[in-house]
Amino acid sequence: MTAINALKLISAKRSYTQQPIQQRRSKLSKRIWEQIELAKARSENRDFAPTRYKSFKSADGTINTVEQRKRVKQWWWEQANGKIALSIRYGSKVIALNAKSNAVEVNTITDLINALNVIKVAVEAGDLDAQIDSASTMLRKGFTK
């Protein structure tokens, strides 16, 4: 018991839940990562489809799990002037990046990947928390009667 007394002992409880804003940041950061990977795949002329696992109950009552490809919709499009526009989405809502703008304009796919990386860092740092919170509130309003 003398060896344990040399340690600093505390009474602590582990938290298994995240704060709501941290969950929203994490969700958006994951979606931005998917967009980065999708843009990299498009620049290399390959397909990108992450997988997810889906469980279902068969007729005999057993639960089976299958791996399915997840569809990722791209958040960017080519404009008439040949440049690429990118909007950031939280669910089905477009997030305003500042008071006047809701999209980023870039020249090439590599610029698009760089812009997505910058936005991902900003989301993880908490720079877009107010916009994420308002988009989340608007989404929740759509589910109430």
Q: Residue 1 has what pLDDT?
A: 60
Mean pLDDT of 11-24: 84
Indicate the domain borders of the chain.
20-141
d(CA 123, CA 32): 9
Task: In whole angstroms, give the CA distance from residue 83 to residue 108.
Answer: 7
Residue 143 predicted with pLDDT over 80: yes
The pLDDT tens digits for 97-125 are 888 889 999 999 999 999 999 999 999 99
Mean pLDDT throughout 65-69? 92
Length of the chain measured in residues: 145
Residue 134: alpha-carbon gap to chain centroid: 16
pTM (2 d.p.): 0.79
Q: What is the mean pLDDT of residues 4-24?
A: 84
Cβ atoms within 10 Å of 136's Cβ, excluding its own: 19
Q: For residue 84, what are the β-bridge partners?
A: 78, 106
Among 141, 32, 120, CA closest to 76: 32
Alpha helices in 1-145 (DSSP H): 2-5, 20-43, 109-125, 129-141
Tokens of 6: 């040399």
Residue bearing tokens 């796919």: 109
Mean pLDDT over the full length of the chain: 90
